[in-house]
Structure 1
Amino acid sequence: MASYLDTYYTRTLRTVEPRAALTGSLQADVCVVGAGMAGITTALELLRRGRSVILLEAQRVSWGASGRNGGVVSPGYSTSFERIAQRVGVEDAKSIYRMSIEGVDIVADNIRQVGIEEAHPVPGVLRVSRHENTVDMQAQQAWLANEFQYDVRFKTHEEIREWLVSDKYRHALYNERGFHFHPLNYARALVAEVERLGGQVFEDSEVLSLDCSSAVKRLKTSRGTVAARDVVFTCGGYTGNVVPQLARSYLPISTYMLVTEPAPDLIGTAIRTRASVGDSRRASDYYRLVDDGERILWGGMITTRKSEPDRLAELLRRRMVDTYPQLSALKVDLSWSGRMSYARHLMPLIGRLHTGVWYCMGFGGHGMNTTAVGGRLIAQGITNETDRYRLFAPFGLEWNGGPAGTAAVQLTYWYYQLMDFMRERAA
């Protein structure tokens, strides 16, 4: 497997200039810890509301999952609406789902307003089913239209086969408002906008300690300190032990991606749409064409290990060929992994730990929309604009279960794979 820093996105990155590490003593209204999508958006939303912001990153901007993901922006969360409603009630669940739609619009608006052409947004998100699921999909289509005025199109087996030449797919929902893009170019362009608005961004600046003994919080790195009335932790799967309660509240999950060699004619025998594709299995695959259709970017599989052998790239390629046998000769050019963070309840961790200390993390594989709205909610909370962030309080910072919790996640994933397999065989 390639170096952790070597991904399709780093190879096609528009700007690569590093930022200095924090030195000396600085102060700001708010210090945001973690320059992934959630941290960058939080900083931007705060600056737009007139707050001064310092953004600290232990590695490089969007070095983690934010800059190495599938790049798909669509509504929803990693758990179902029904499970959300079980915890918060139907009406609050509807409000929470509307926020996921708002998150999609935030990303689209940022691309448009900031002029991030290098994000290369491409409209269209397909959710395909590998078993007979017509009734449920059409019910989902009607529910989205009636409850949220959000229109998606149901596509029959014959219609979907015009786009995806595979015997695996039965039908799909097509979302024209969703899109896919280059997440790392987007993130770095937003950081440039943060700096243009007066925010200060520092890389190689891991926070080593936090002093909350007074109204002004003090954060220490190896070479500097920051004083701020509010601190926001947005570290995701790389959250350290500076705030133990946050470290114990998520499970680090690794996912895998590959990009193929350029072969537009061969790829065109299988995939004939520029929309992104994700299947409805719990243990799903997701993929899209990149480089104007010359390559496939394909993702899937999760493990709870921090690293995996090179054979995982071949296992992921086999999943692609299982879906499209005509691509058996297509070679992998590059593969990589990324670490996401999941809470046990599968919902984002958004809220206030105590006065002046906030968190926005744990987006569980659905972060392109939820990081955006999460950053806005925290900014609104800090500026007393709204307290919408409180809608996520019922999910809370549940203990991750330690090693047993990690093992349970892996076993659950294997169980989902088995159930997906059995359901397809029965279809």
Structure 2
Amino acid sequence: MLDYPNTYYSATRRPANDHAPLRGTVAVDVCVIGGGLAGLSTAWELIRRGRSVALLEAQRIGWGASGRNGGFVLQGWSEGLRNIEARCGRDHARALFGLSVEGVEIVRDTIAGHSLPGCDPTTGKLSVTRYEAADQLQRHRDHMARTYGYDFTYIDRPTLRGLLKSDLYFQALRDPVGFHFHPLNYCLGLADLIADAGGRLFEGTAMIGMSRTDTSGPNGRWRVDTVDGSVLCHDVVMCGGGYGGPEFGRLHRAFLPIATYVVLTERLGERMADFVATTDAVGDDRRSSDYYRIVDGDRLLWGGRITTRYEQDEQRLAAMLRQDIGGVFPGLADVRIEKAWSGLMGYARHKMPHIAKVEDGLWSCSSFGGHGMNTAPIGGRVIAEAITGESDRIRFFAPYGLTWNGGIFGPPAAELVYTGLRLMDFWQESRSRRQGA
């Protein structure tokens, strides 16, 4: 079992209980595979509905992307609403958007209702543009209010320049409902809630295979095998993310592992106000965007560089993202990077999560890459509702099933797409600067 990677979150994580690996055989109602936010959320929702649960995590609780991301909890999905409308229709898109907002409230309410320590939620997120987009943003604001009942605040260029001291930014929309927080501490808090309620959590316990032990009916029992034990259950929920392997079968063939990089700067002290004068989280409008926020009062936690290449060398990561920081804030071109890390997210080709019944008693709650801190919690709730017969809200995800990821051709094809999108960003920004001049 690996320890946590060297990140800001692991260095500032709350005290947490260790969970021993599985030894022998246990019998429960549901086996959840994966101890990230999706697995923890699913387990917690099931336990609240009276189901017994065993959760298997190959490493540590929150070890993967769930515990090392930007920490943004925001409405929406990785796929844009316009594309969801085109694929599913406006009423269907409204339902999916409503679920995404419910996911934000699940996290907020869980932190407040259970006084989870160390989560430090801070409200507000700025979505900034790096080209002239005043009319476009105001139309989007009006569309969201009229169609989805969600209110953004438009911020013009002079006001934005008072908040973010960069010549690259033009306008922004502010989300006054979304927030940012410490994702690893939230995962650890959920794990404690699950354990206190009788859930069985096993760290250092990789699933190596599963099979039906009784196929006589639609509720036949499953056997989930690990190196030193097994779980007998009525239902299995697969919640593996970007680190899932071939043992996940069809699910593994349906998502791509996509890398993102994050760094933590030195303390900036009073210099911080020369660059960032807001406690809101920030993300730009590009296809492969920068995203950042202030932590510890005077440090920047900065992420970006979405790619299929998984770079883990800390010095290279620090150099790359220092260059990005300096591009936005030239006065920070020589800022010292104290920590640098990377992580793998699971992305589906359609950019929506896989929330589905794969076959009788086998469920998927995965592929939340790029927008998981609200969508994984609502995914866990929807799956729990389906298993217990409480609702059929899982139907809203039917248009986004398990699609082939392209196999060995998937990563290079995705990298080619990302390269093209970055070129489009560069062209759009260059044109806006020329017109501004």
Give the TM-score band, short-chain normalised. Answer: over 0.9
Q: Match of 1:108, SS?
A: helix
Partner SS for 2:343: strand
Please state whether the residue corresponding to 1:253 is helix, strand or coil: strand
Q: Which amino acid aligns with 2:278?
A: T
Q: 2:301 aligns with which of 290, 297, 303?
A: 297
1:395 counterpart residue number: 400
Residue of structure 2 equivalent to 1:411: 416
Q: Does the 8 A contact of 2:52 with 2:198 survive in 1?
A: yes
Code of the residue aligned with 1:23 in structure 2: it is: R
Change (3 A) 1:402 1:4: farther
Pairwise CA distance, 1:62: 0.7
Name the SS of the counterpart of 2:100 in structure 1.
helix
Aligned equivalents of 2:86, 2:253: Cα separation in 1: 24
The SS at the match of 1:380 is: helix
> How big is each residue's C-alpha offset from its partner over 1:176-208, in whole Å with a ceiling of 9 and x where there is no partner?
111000000011001100111111111001011
**Aligned pairs, how many?**
424
Q: Matched residues in 1 for 2:238 and 2:11: separation?
A: 29
Deviations 1:195-227 (A, max 9, x none): 111111110010111012421100111111111
Task: Provide the rounded CA distance (Å) in 1 between the counterparts of 2:16 and 2:319.
Answer: 30
Q: Which residue of 2 aligns with 1:25?
A: 25
The correspondence for 1:282, drawn from 280, 287, 290, is 287
Query: Are residue 245 (structure 1) and residue 261 (structure 2) matched?
Result: no
1:336, 1:351 → 2: CA distance?
32
Q: Distance in 2 between matches of 1:243 and 1:324?
A: 43
1:187: which partner in 2?
Answer: 187
2:64 is matched with 64
Q: Does structure 2 retain, via aligned residues, the 8 Å contact 1:165–1:324?
A: yes
Superposition misfits of 4+ residues, deviation over 3 angstroms? 306-310
The Cα of 1:308 is off from its aligned counterpart by 4.5
Match of 1:320 in 2: 325
Match of 1:108 in 2: 108
**1:363-389 CA-partner distances (Å, limit 9, x unpaired):** 121000100100000000000111111
Q: Which amino acid aligns with 1:258?
A: V
The answer as to whether partners of 1:4 and 1:337 remain within 8 angstroms in 2 is no
Q: When the two structures are superposed, what TM-score results if normalisation uses the length of structure 2? A: 0.95
Give how far 1:65 is off.
0.1
Alignment of 1:20-419 (within 5 A): 20-214=20-214, 215-292=220-297, 294-309=298-313, 310-419=315-424
Paired AA for residue 302 in structure 1: I
CA contact (8 A) 1:217 1:231 kept: yes
Gaps of at least 5 residues in structure 1 are none
1:117 match: secondary structure: coil
Counterpart code for 2:25: S
- Structure 1 Cα separation of the partners of residues 246 and 232 of structure 2: 19
Stretch deviating more after TM superposition (152-161 or 303-312): 303-312
CA distance in 1 between counterparts of 2:18 and 2:348 reads 32
Output the CA distance in 2 between the equivalents of 1:274 and 1:311: 28
RMSD: 1.2
Q: Which runs of 5+ in 2 are unaligned?
A: 215-219, 433-437
Question: Residues of 2 paired with 1:419 and 1:83: CA distance?
Answer: 18
- Whole-angstrom distance in 2 between the partners of 1:144 and 1:116: 32
Contact 2:32 2:56 in 1 (8 A): yes
Q: Which amino acid aligns with 1:384?
A: G
Report the secondary structure of 1:232's partner residue: strand
Please state whether the residue corresponding to 1:237 is helix, strand or coil: coil
